[in-house]
């Protein structure tokens, strides 16, 4: 992945290694963190939002069957871990 600013012009360079062309990508999932070529984090934040929405649905579904202490444990294990994973990288994004 070639990193660039949001306003920099697109320059097409063909890069090869051992006579194989290396294809350019605009975003990639690396260890659960979605990185795009401008480090804008929009793709990652949208993915996190989708995961948190599903986790909230699960919490609402199991709420009538669990004590408040158990719900707190589920929250810490599920929602909190989703929100905090990689936060040091994407947390300062203007999009977040």
In a domain, 9, yes or no: no
**What pLDDT does 1 receive?**
66
CA triplet 82, 62, 76: central angle to 5 degrees? 30
The answer to the question of residue 53 being in a domain is yes
Tens digit of pLDDT for each residue in 40-90?
Answer: 888 888 899 999 999 999 889 989 999 999 999 988 888 888 888 888 777
27 burial type by CB count under 10 A (0-12 exposed, 13-18 middle, 19+ buried): middle
Which band of pLDDT confidence, cut at 50, 70 and 90, is reported for residue 36?
Answer: confident
DSSP-assigned beta bridge partners for residue 15 = 22
Number of domains in the chain: 1
What is the helix (H) or strand (E) element at residue 62, kind and residue range?
helix 42-62
Q: Is residue 66 part of a domain?
A: yes
User: Residue 64: its pLDDT value, please?
Assistant: 92
pLDDT at 96 > cutoff 80: no
For the stretch 8-19, pLDDT in tens is 666 667 777 788
Is the pTM here over 0.75, yes or no?
no
**Nearest in space to 24 (alpha carbons), one of 7, 37, 40:** 37
Instruction: Please give the pLDDT value at position 23.
Output: 79
Phi and psi of 7, rounded to 5°?
-105, -5
* Structural domain span for residue 34: 15-90
């Amino acid at each position: 992945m070639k990193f660039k600013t949001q306003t920099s012009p697109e320059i097409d360079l063909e890069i090869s290694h051992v006579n194989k062309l290396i294809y350019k990508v605009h975003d990639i999932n690396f260890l659960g963190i979605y990185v795009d070529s401008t480090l804008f984090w929009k793709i990652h934040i949208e993915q996190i939002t989708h995961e948190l929405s599903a986790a909230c649905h699960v919490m609402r579904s199991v709420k009538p069957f669990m004590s408040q202490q158990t719900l707190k444990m589920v929250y810490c294990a599920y929602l909190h871990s989703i929100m905090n994973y990689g936060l040091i990288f994407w947390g300062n994004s203007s999009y977040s």
